[in-house]
Amino acid sequence: MVPELASREHLRRIVPVVREALERAGLDFAGVAAIGATRGPGLIGSLLVGYTYGETLARALGKPFVPVNHLEGHVHAVFLEAQQRAAAGLPELPAACLIVSGGHTVLYAVEPAPGGADAPAAAAEFPAYRCLYSRIGATRDDAAGEAFDKVAKLLALGYPGGPVMDQLAPHGNAQSVHFTAPHTRGNPLDFSFSGIKTAVLRHIRAHPQLEPEIAERREALGRGLRCASELLPLCSAATLDLVASFQRAVVSDLVARTLAAAEQHSMRSVLVSGGVAANSELRATFERECRARALPVFFPSRALSTDNAAMIAAAAYPRLLAGQVAANGMDAQANLPLA
Ligand code: KG4
Ligand code: ZN
């Protein structure tokens, strides 16, 4: 990603994107109660485009403007959809929330804000969870999605690597390559994925017979092949075993530390969000392990697991109700913490 190009693209697209979103929702600006926009964390150039546009639009329309933390958006993506599937019950707080994407791998304890309920009334039209967040674990090096992307690059499986590896993994044997579980001395709720990524690199170097197929796939990617179904015939059993074992190692570690956090902090539910939350094995493993512990687990749909604007609106709504609108001089912030 080239930051300068990304922010120029944001600038080019923001007006038509907002117009189209309103059209599809059958709304006009007059029918909007408030404007929410991401304040951070992220690339400052891109943040500034969305934030300044949102703030200016709110001022022009005389509507409240609600700055939102991107990570809080990922938490609220779970709440937003849980309401629509209320039959499964709404998530109760305190919850352990794993946000796992290409940029983040972080564990939050999510508690009700003073005066907020453990869970909003089930009859409410929209779940207005007002929360406090404390970071209880984070990656010390690569984010899990970044590890998927880097391993996919080593194996010439395209970018982003996660979705393709997710589809290739069931064709391999997850027990064939052994990866040592990462140690994170100090805080056992911290993550580390660079060791697993380096182990994959060492494995490839130790098995030079993998090189011709890697070269063949690189050439296929150059011709525009992208889907798992197109790449599968170009993968040997040894490659599929490596992909399955890598995914198993990452998934097992994410699930084990999240469940340890839930146990340690007596959480009443588990929330999993971010691009990697779309991973089939991650979902299945969380569902199996949480069922065994009678601990409810919630994910957004795959579409709302990755970055999106609906989750920013969902996080803005309880802040709007609580009167937490923008103060003067508040600006976008690349490293904005969630607290
Ligand atoms: O949340 P996201 O859309 O963007 C940010 O990084 O903020 O996450 C993108 C990341 C990429 O690293 C991608 O490889 C990973 O999520 N990802 C997956 C899957 N779908 C996306 N990783 C594993 N399995 C998937 N199905
Ligand atoms: Zn994100």
Q: Which pLDDT belongs to residue 37?
A: 97
Ligand index nearest the alpha carbon of residue 168: 1
The string of pLDDT tens digits covering residues 256-297 is 999 999 999 999 999 999 999 999 999 999 999 999 999 999
As for ligand 1, residues whose beta carbon falls within 6 Å of it are 101-103, 145-146, 148-149, 160-163, 166, 274-276, 278-279, 306-307
**Protein residue with its CA nearest to atom 22 in ligand 1:** 162
Asked if residues 133 and 258 have their Cβ atoms less than 8 Å apart, the reply is no
For ligand 1, atom 13, which residue shows the shortest CA distance?
Answer: 162
Ligand 1, atom nearest to 70 Cα = 7
For the residues 10-36, what does the mean pLDDT come to? 96
The pLDDT of 206-220, averaged and rounded, is: 98
Nearest ligand 1 atom to the CA of 149 is 14
pLDDT value at 94 more than 80: yes
Counting ligands in written order, which one lies closest to the CA of residue 100? 1
Question: 188 pLDDT exceeds 60?
Answer: yes
Q: What are the Cα distances from residue 256, in Å, to 223, 270, 287?
A: 40, 12, 13
Considering every ligand atom shown, identify the ligand nearest to the alpha carbon of residue 311 and give its number: 2
Predicted confidence (pLDDT) per residue in 37-78, tens digit: 999 999 999 999 999 999 999 999 999 999 999 999 999 999
- End-to-end CA, the chain: 28
Q: Are strands 269-273 and 131-138 parallel, antiparallel or unpaired?
A: unpaired
Least confident of 24-33, 77-86, 138-147, 303-312: 77-86
For residue 160, is the peptide bond before it cis, meaning its omega torsion is within 30 degrees of 0? yes
Q: For residue 88, is pLDDT > 90?
A: no
* CA-proximal residue: ligand 1, atom 6 (nearest): 102
CA distance readout (Å), 241 to 175, 177, 213, 226, 235: 8, 7, 14, 20, 10
Banded pLDDT at 123 (limits 50, 70, 90): very low
Best of 101, 159, 226 to mutate for ligand 1, by most ligand atoms within 8 A of CB?
Answer: 101
pLDDT over 70 (residue 299) = yes
**Per-residue pLDDT for 19 more than 90?**
yes
Ligand nearest to the CA of 74: 2
Our CA dihedral for 291, 292, 297, 299, rounded to 10 degrees, sits at -70
Average pLDDT over residues 14-20: 97
Question: Which atom of ligand 1 sits closest to the CA of residue 148?
Answer: 14
Mean pLDDT of the chain: 94
Q: How many residues does the chain have?
A: 339
**Ligand 1 centroid from CA 161, angstroms:** 8
pTM of the model: 0.94
Among all bound ligands, the one having the nearest atom to the CA of 69 is: 2
Q: What mean pLDDT is predicted for residues 160-189?
A: 95
pLDDT, tens only, 137-172 = 999 999 999 999 999 999 999 999 999 999 999 999
Measured from the Cα of 100, ligand 1's closest atom is 1
Residue 303: predicted pLDDT:
92
Q: How confident is the model at residue 132 (pLDDT cuts 50, 70, 90)?
A: very high
The DSSP string of 215-266 is HHHHHHHHTT--SHHHHGGG--HHHHHHHHHHHHHHHHHHHHHHHHHHHHTT
Going by pLDDT thresholds of 50, 70 and 90, the confidence category of residue 84 is confident
User: Who's near 132: CB < 8 A, 6+ residues apart?
Assistant: 110, 111, 112, 113
| Selection from 279, 256, 255 nearest residue 161 by Cα | 279
State the distance from the centre of ligand 2 to the C-alpha of 74, rounded, in angstroms: 7
| Ligand 2: centre distance to CA 156 (Å) | 25
Residue 274 CA, closest ligand 1 atom number: 1
* Residue 78 CA, ligand 1 centroid: distance in Å: 16
C-alpha of residue 300 to centroid of ligand 1, in Å = 13
Over residues 83-87, mean pLDDT:
71
How is 173-195 classified by DSSP, letter by letter? -TTSS--PPPP-SS-TT-B--HH
Counting ligand 1 atoms within 8 A of each CB, the residue from 273, 306, 312 with the most, and so the one to mutate, is 306
